[in-house]
Chains A and B, each alone.
With several copies, the nearest count.
Chain A
Amino acid sequence: MVYLDNGATTAPYPEVVETMKEVLQTYYGNPSSLHHLGVQSEKVLKQSRELTAKFLEVSPGEIVFTSGATESNNTAIKGIAFQYQNRGKHIITSAVEHPAVLDVCKQLQDIFGVRLTVLPVDSKGMVRLDDLKQAITDETILVSIMFVNNEVGSIQPIQEIGNYLKSFPKIFFHVDAVQAFGKIPVKPETLGIDLLSLSAHKFHGPKGTGILYVRKGTQLTPLLVGGGQEAKFRPGTENLAGIVGMVKAMRLTQQKLKDQPDALKRMRNRLVEGLQGLEGCYINSPEEGAPHILNLSVPGVKSEVLLHSLEDKGIYVSTKSACSSKLDRPSRVLMEMGLGEERARSALRISLSYENTIDEMDYFITTMKQVVPQLKQMLN
């Protein structure tokens, strides 16, 4: 099996599974309980928070553990919208956000009277700083832009936006960095980010755990209310096994990024070169995109058909983002990039992880060169 769908989700590292098992068996006490079992759990939780903070180069008090990026995004965006509604009701986001950002903003627009500006992207899938500058008004309270696009891998100009927004102390900057962590450096503080979302299962951690970084001093109207855990930003009995598993996965992933900083890039380059010879195959990802995502189209061959043909050969890829893949629609992101419906209907996303190998890339290329002409012939 050649698993090239790491943008949808990743297999947990064996070490992550082991450590989760240990936590489930040993540290099951409720971190809020006063007795020794509770104290032990609380200490494990504290250490998890400190390590997470260290990996992101922020303070432990700025780390909120959540149930995943969907929750992190909702907590951040709605939290700001409700908390600061007296300052203004205008939010800016981009057209290529994940639904867990874009649809949250739309919900705020539809139900809570928030005014929304959705920035377009260029042919590389990137927002333009100038567009952002023009969109800002006195009413703007939040800018939410993703770090790395999940379908094509475009890296947004987060540093530039962060720098620019520094002169607007009343505007908060949220970044969905789900596809960035472990692939490129993610340092919210130096990037000028106020809120940042991560999801563990995208870097070989368990599903159902995530992180929201909340810069010190940022207030949020809590989305979840309850027992007061996570400094009231995210109450509910803590999923300690998931959290520890996630932190372990963070550590291992950061280590890989450090030890083999070019590994993903090399695999991606191999794919690009290898596919050059394949007629009718177009690369949709920008050259300077994230190293782990390569989006391509074979106009004339519907995404799903190509996907299943590859599956027959043991290769697993996806058509677009996992959660929208069951809808038979052209890729929204490719449409926004202006690539046209034909390419948007025939797009495949190859998404890599450090667990993949160059050999697998070669196998993918060979298989494509075999499958695509066959399909084209059948479809003509």
Chain B
Amino acid sequence: MVQYDDILIRYGEMALKGKNRGMFEKQLADNIRRGIHDFPKAKVETAYGRMYVALNGEPYDGVAERIKKIFGITSLSPTKRVENFTLESIQEASLSLMKDIDPAPKTFKVEVKRTNKRFPHRSMEMNHLVGGFILKNMDGIKVDVHQPEVLLKVEIRNEGAFLTCVNVPGFGGLPVGTGGKAMLLLSGGIDSPVAGWLTMKRGMRIEGIHFESPPFTSERARQKVLDLAGIISEYGTGEMRVHMVPFTEIQTEIRQKCPEHYLITIMRRFMMRIAEAIAKKQKALALSTGESLGQVASQTIESMHTINNVTNYPILRPLVTMDKSEIMQIAHKIGTYETSILPFEDCCTIFVPKSPVTRPTVEKASEFERVLDIERLVQDAVERTEVVKASSKKEEQEQFDLF
């Protein structure tokens, strides 16, 4: 097992010119720092237009696991630093790196870059010296200069020689915190966390809004939502505020006073109104939802139109064109799936009408709603909303003083 010294971080520099760049880098460095807070010795460093994490003895695997999630990073590479400039130590280090690759590669290529001109061997010569050493000491491996499985890069600089041969892809995107704020309507299901994740991908900070209906929903359902928020926050700033909106009263009012087939439409219109009110308070400029077209009867374009009618806020629907299977794939990839499928009631599963309307209209919805004191209900729910901070940091969750 090779002990790596640094992790080199690459980000989409091309897209970033001018003064945005400094802000972008600072946010990315902050997000990485928060992501690896429990590896205290690891330090984020920016120098000469690149960013790297000095491991200082922390395990590469554990640190990389965290970093590779963070939006804004296109790829990363573990690097080995060789402090003395002897040919032998560079050869040995190169070999150990190659041997560490699992599964063992069949072809490779060496690429040496020498900026330290005092080093006696030139780049081209070094390519042969290093490559030859590896060929001699590893079975079943060949050089392929065109399409090598592994590209071993050796950079000989004044501070030392830096070796990398693994390139771990990141998720790309922009660092969370560089693109304004949206409020995410977060249920406990599969879709909304994925929608949140995709919203974050473009650099937006998000806060969650969750509708609770005790006693129909439980402590575990609430915890599940916070867990989900914690999981997706790992891709951004490491934490996320979730607004817990008490929704029982509104649901029962609708249930008792409005026609059953419009129940879901009206309920969702209330959710939008409340979300907008909270967004205003939190200075967010958009709402984000997990809706996709035609998934369930309530997600027709007519339905979307009718629900959208109560707000002027932009509603981001990152999943709108996706199939369920695509959404599930992402949920698996980002680690929310297992939590999403835990079977606790959420506010949308309690009152399920037998035949919900599939083509609701704005006119009808407004008319049915007239019996309700919309303003009071919304205001009351917003006032009683509780804000809870979800976090990927364990010590910020509820902890027991037992250990």
Cα A327 to Cα B256 in complex, Å, equals 30
B259 at the interface (CB under 8 A from A): no
A355 at the interface (CB under 8 A from B): no
- Would you call A34 and B218 a contact (CB within 8 A)? yes
Instruction: Return the chain B residue nearest A192 by Cβ.
Output: B1
Q: Which of A190, A306, A379, A380 contacts B59 (CB 8 A)?
A: A190
Q: Which of A19, A43, A189, A308 contacts B218 (CB 8 A)?
A: A308
Chain A nearest Cβ from B254, distance in angstroms: 11
Cα A247 to Cα B214 in complex, Å, equals 35
A 286-316 to B, binary, CB cutoff 8 A, 1 in contact else 0: 0000000000000000101110110110000
Q: Which of A50, A54, A57, A309 contacts B215 (CB 8 A)?
A: A309
Chain B nearest Cβ from A78, distance in angstroms: 27
Cα A260 to Cα B61 in complex, Å, equals 26
**Residues of A in contact, count (CB < 8 Å):** 40
- Would you call A39 and B223 a contact (CB within 8 A)? yes
- Would you call B59 and A19 a contact (CB within 8 A)? no
A251 at the interface (CB under 8 A from B): yes
Given A167-B104, A328-B343, A378-B255, verify A304-B218 contact (CB < 8 Å): yes
A51 at the interface (CB under 8 A from B): yes
Cα A47 to Cα B223 in complex, Å, equals 14
Cα A327 to Cα B220 in complex, Å, equals 13
- Would you call B403 and A47 a contact (CB within 8 A)? yes
B62 at the interface (CB under 8 A from A): yes
Instruction: Return the chain A residue nearest B343 by Cβ.
Output: A328
Q: Is the interface of A mostly helix, strand, loop or mixed?
A: helix
Residues in A with CB closer than 8 Å to B38 are 54
Given A44-B400, A50-B394, A51-B403, verify A39-B62 contact (CB < 8 Å): no
Cα A297 to Cα B218 in complex, Å, equals 20
Cα A379 to Cα B248 in complex, Å, equals 11
Instruction: Return the chain A residue nearest B400 by Cβ.
Output: A44
- Would you call B104 and A244 a contact (CB within 8 A)? no
B 211-255 to A, binary, CB cutoff 8 A, 1 in contact else 0: 000111111100100000000000000000000000010001001
A100 at the interface (CB under 8 A from B): no
- Would you call A43 and B343 a contact (CB within 8 A)? no
A166 at the interface (CB under 8 A from B): yes
Residues in A with CB closer than 8 Å to B20 are none
- Would you call A251 and B61 a contact (CB within 8 A)? no
Residues in A with CB closer than 8 Å to B355 are none
- Would you call B400 and A47 a contact (CB within 8 A)? yes
- Would you call A304 and B400 a contact (CB within 8 A)? no
A22 at the interface (CB under 8 A from B): yes
Max chain A Cβ within 10 angstroms of own Cβ: one of B1, B351, B398: B1
Q: Which of A34, A163, A248 contacts B402 (CB 8 A)?
A: A248
Chain A nearest Cβ from B72, distance in angstroms: 24
- Would you call A244 and B402 a contact (CB within 8 A)? yes
- Would you call A378 and B252 a contact (CB within 8 A)? yes
A23 at the interface (CB under 8 A from B): yes
B322 at the interface (CB under 8 A from A): no
Given A51-B403, A305-B350, A311-B215, verify A57-B59 contact (CB < 8 Å): yes
Cα A378 to Cα B256 in complex, Å, equals 8
Chain A nearest Cβ from B230, distance in angstroms: 12
B399 at the interface (CB under 8 A from A): yes
Cα A57 to Cα B214 in complex, Å, equals 38
Given A190-B59, A305-B350, A378-B252, verify A326-B343 contact (CB < 8 Å): yes
Instruction: Return the chain A residue nearest B351 by Cβ.
Output: A379
Chain B nearest Cβ from A54, distance in angstroms: 8
Cα A326 to Cα B350 in complex, Å, equals 16
Cα A304 to Cα B215 in complex, Å, equals 8
- Would you call A327 and B403 a contact (CB within 8 A)? no
- Would you call A308 and B402 a contact (CB within 8 A)? no
- Would you call A312 and B215 a contact (CB within 8 A)? yes
B342 at the interface (CB under 8 A from A): yes
- Would you call B62 and A166 a contact (CB within 8 A)? no
Chain B nearest Cβ from A330, distance in angstroms: 13
Chain A nearest Cβ from B87, distance in angstroms: 26
Given A39-B219, A166-B102, A309-B215, verify A304-B345 contact (CB < 8 Å): yes
Instruction: Return the chain A residue nearest B65 by Cβ.
Output: A59
Cα A54 to Cα B255 in complex, Å, equals 48
Cα A43 to Cα B224 in complex, Å, equals 12
Given A304-B218, A305-B215, A326-B343, verify A23-B402 contact (CB < 8 Å): yes
Residues in A with CB closer than 8 Å to B342 are 326
A 183-212 to B, binary, CB cutoff 8 A, 1 in contact else 0: 000000110000000000000000000000
B 317-357 to A, binary, CB cutoff 8 A, 1 in contact else 0: 00000000000000000000000001111000011000000
- Would you call B399 and A47 a contact (CB within 8 A)? yes
Instruction: Return the chain B residue nearest A166 by Cβ.
Output: B102
Residues in B with CB closer than 8 Å to A167 are 103-104
Chain A nearest Cβ from B115, distance in angstroms: 33
Cα A379 to Cα B352 in complex, Å, equals 11
18 A–B contacts from the bound complex (CB under 8 Å): A19-B402, A19-B403, A34-B220, A39-B219, A44-B400, A166-B102, A167-B104, A189-B61, A190-B59, A190-B61, A304-B218, A304-B345, A305-B215, A305-B345, A305-B350, A308-B215, A326-B344, A379-B255
10 smallest beta-carbon distances between A and B, as pairs: A308-B215, A328-B343, A309-B215, A378-B252, A39-B219, A19-B402, A308-B218, A190-B1, A248-B403, A305-B216
Chain A residues packing against B (C-beta within 8 Å): 19, 22-23, 34, 36, 39, 43-44, 47-48, 50-51, 54, 57, 159, 163, 166-167, 169, 189-190, 244, 247-248, 251, 302, 304-306, 308-309, 311-312, 326-328, 375, 378-380
